[in-house]
Amino acid sequence: MKNAHVPILGFAAYSGTGKTTLLTKLIPLLKEHGLRVALIKHSHHNFEIDKPGKDSYRLREAGATPVMLVSSHRRAIITEFDSIIEPKLDDQLKALDQSDLDLILVEGFKAENFPKIELHRPSLEKPLIFPKDPSIIAIATDSKALELNSPTHLDINNPLLITDFIINTFLEKTV
């Protein structure tokens, strides 16, 4: 990723595996270690972050792009895309201010080539992504029996262990 100025680490899995649930546990743990963490989440759905009837929505519908909403608590920038195509992660990295970050976590973009932890639950009866994606550096699973030639195994139900892997293995290799 030519537009990544800090380490990026993805979490790849099929829907329903628990990506968001795990990330909501990992982010506070990473922040406890002093890391400044951003997140990019890919959605396959058309979404609205402002609501019909609100000024920002009306101004965007009138054709303004981007629209920046700012308060004393947060800022959001809404940019309409000219054509409806699947976004590329590297293009999104270009739009993200990375100057005060230590790590960017990514949920989704599983078909793109960047370091990822695969989340796998055999009970969902989905195949492993790993054999077809060499950028997977670890598999977090609730199964003890996986292929012997697969990368590092992590317990999907142990966020402390996964945090340790991110800090002491992944980030150590990227520095």
pLDDT tens per residue across span 53-92: 888 888 888 888 888 888 898 888 888 888 878 889 999 9
CATH 3.40.50.300 in the chain is located at 8-42+87-174
**pLDDT band, very low/low/confident/very high, at 175 (cuts 50, 70, 90):** low
The answer, yes or no, to whether residue 170 has pLDDT greater than 60, is yes
Answer yes or no: are the C-beta atoms of 11 and 106 closer than 8 Å.
yes
Q: Reply yes or no on whether the pLDDT at 161 is more than 90.
A: yes
Q: Which CATH superfamily is domain 8-42+87-174 in?
A: P-loop containing nucleotide triphosphate hydrolases (3.40.50.300)
Q: What is the pTM of this model?
A: 0.88
